[in-house]
Amino acid sequence: MPRTTCVVAGGGPAGMVLGLLLARAGVAVTVLEKHDDFLRDFRGDTVHASTIRLLDELGLGPAFRALPQSRLQNLELPQPDGLAVTLGDFRRLPPPYDHVAMVPQWDLLTLLADAARAEPSFALRMSTAAVDLLREGGRVTGVRTRTRDGVEEDLHADLVVAADGRSSVLRSAAGLVPHAYRVPFDTWWFRLPRWESEREQAALVPRIAGAEILLSFPRTDYFQVAYVNRKGMDARLRAEGVERFRERVARLRPDFADRLDALTSTDDLHWLDVRLDRLPRWHVDGLLLIGDAAHAMSPAGGVGINLAVQDAVAAATLLAAPLRAGTPTARDLGRVRRRRLLPTVVIQLAQRVLHRLVFVPALAGRQPRAVRLVAAVARRVPAVTRVPAQLIAFGPRPEHAPAFARRPAPADR
Ligand SMILES: Cc1cc2nc3c(=O)[nH]c(=O)nc-3n(C[C@H](O)[C@H](O)[C@H](O)COP(=O)(O)OP(=O)(O)OC[C@H]3O[C@@H](n4cnc5c(N)ncnc54)[C@H](O)[C@@H]3O)c2cc1C
């Protein structure tokens, strides 16, 4: 009967970090990832200071910094007078944590997977989905797995962790339903070329005009662009065709008009059905849910990856010892939610306030008063721009790597 100590469903940021940390604690852990590889575009590529610091503590800092990446240093709002006002300034945070790194998520996941494979108690099964929960006497005792070829196998474990994202199959199998908050918008992601002369730009630039919003993120050799509009617009945008979409973008960013032929069809638009939800309970006996499976985040602030990683660190810190000693109790599992609830609630609340004060008026064609107010304050007292930067970069209650997972970086050995 195949058996491990902990089986983690999902090889995203939460699942890979948990797998790595538990393996470094000597716990036998198997991570299941339903895809063949980590290569999926627009999964979210922002790596915040809390995660970069964690990677340093794990001894992975140099390898992380060697990955192709660009740096986001501030959040700028263009003004009618042509000058931009800085709303959030990461450069005011102490280095080396004074920026947001924009790193393809597949590179980050590959780095974590490689580090985890160095631990003898770690196993990663790609192309293998968790399709159902196994139960004995009401307790979850493992998962049914299915490979891409359709081969099914039961994998028994002392603990199952669902890190299978916002449409979690295991969450449904456990009968858990998240509370969903109303979100007024969706986003459509696409890429545009970034000219050589623009390589110095390191700011996130939002534009609000009409009833539409556009945000551009500088990447190594392209701009990652998010077009924001009301929910329910996807079919209409696609029916209107690419030429009409190009016009929308050019109206928001006239400086992008010279490169819109890079958008060849509406298939180049990656629709994100934005959700914001949270489970009232993150565990049942034998099963814990973390990351997006426990709480899907709005893209506002780009915090989803970092919060998922923090959940994983908390879970490993609290559960490594109970897993080594035997089966974690429901009380052990409940401690993970208790530790991560405050940061999750605070960030989701901030996102809901942002939706209401910025996105709702902007998408109704009104200039958001809150933005004008913040811009006026930031112009007079630039030091306040550290506050949003600190909140985004570290969030409330950032986690540190537990002692058992820390390693010196190769250069320090
Ligand atoms: C288009 C888009 C853009 C985003 N942009 C940002 C951003 O810029 N910054 C940011 O911080 N966040 C962003 N997010 C959110 C961010 O990607 C998530 O919050 C974060 O990845 C959550 O991590 P996770 O590990 O909990 O879940 P996920 O990243 O969703 O990982 C879940 C993993 O589980 C696998 N899986 C799913 N079901 C199963 C199963 N049954 N069995 C086995 N494996 C399974 C999936 O293939 C996936 O690899 C974005 C999300 C999307 C969709």
Strands (E), 210-258: 212-218, 222-230
* 76-80, 292-296, 381-385 — most confident range: 292-296
Q: What are phi and psi of 262, to 5 degrees?
A: -65, -20
Ligand 1 mean position to 205 CA, how many Å? 24
Atom 38 (ligand 1): residue with closest C-alpha?
164
Give the position of tokens 């908050």: 181
Ligand 1 mean position to 316 CA, how many Å? 19
Q: Which secondary structure element, helix H or strand E, spans residue 193, and what is its range?
A: strand 185-193
How far is the first Cα of the chain from the last one, in angstroms, to the nearest whole number? 41
Ligand 1 mean position to 254 CA, how many Å? 32
pLDDT digits (tens, 9 = 90+) for 286-333: 999 999 999 999 988 888 999 999 999 999 999 999 999 988 999 999
Q: Which two tokens stand for residue 202?
A: 């390191």
Q: What are phi and psi of 20, to 5 degrees?
A: -60, -50
Pocket residues: Cβ below 6 A from ligand 1:
9-15, 32-35, 42-46, 129-130, 163-165, 169, 189, 270, 272, 291-293, 297, 299, 302-306, 308
Q: Is the peptide bond before 68 cis (omega within 30 degrees of 0)?
A: no
3-class DSSP state of 79 = coil
In this prediction, residue 336 carries a pLDDT of 98
Ligand 1 mean position to 63 CA, how many Å? 22
Atom 42 (ligand 1): residue with closest C-alpha?
129
Atom 49 (ligand 1): residue with closest C-alpha?
12
pLDDT digits (tens, 9 = 90+) for 127-158: 999 999 999 999 999 999 999 999 999 999 99
Give the residue-averaged pLDDT of 357-365.
88
Q: What are phi and psi of 122, to 5 degrees?
A: -105, 140
Atom 29 (ligand 1): residue with closest C-alpha?
12
Give the residue-averaged pLDDT of 380-390.
90
DSSP 23-59: HHTT--EEEE-SSSSS--TTS--EE-HHHHHHHHHTT
Band of pLDDT at residue 413, cut at 50, 70 and 90? low
Give the position of tokens 């970090």: 17
Atom 21 (ligand 1): residue with closest C-alpha?
305
Look up the pTM and report it.
0.93
User: How far is Cα 40 from Cα 298, in angstroms, rounded to an integer?
Assistant: 19
Ligand 1 mean position to 136 CA, how many Å? 30
User: How far is Cα 85 from Cα 382, in angstroms, rounded to an integer?
Assistant: 9
Q: For a pLDDT cut of 70, what percent of the chain falls above it?
A: 97
Band of pLDDT at residue 83, cut at 50, 70 and 90? low
Cα distances (Å, whole numbers) of residue 182 to 185, 205, 352 = 9, 26, 9
Ligand 1 mean position to 161 CA, how many Å? 15
Residue 195 · residue 287 · CB < 8 Å: no
Give the ligand 1 atom nearest the CA of 297: 19
Given ligand 1 and candidates 33, 112, 204, which is best to mutate, with the most ligand atoms within 8 Å of its CB?
33
pLDDT digits (tens, 9 = 90+) for 225-274: 999 999 999 999 999 999 999 999 999 999 999 999 999 999 999 999 99
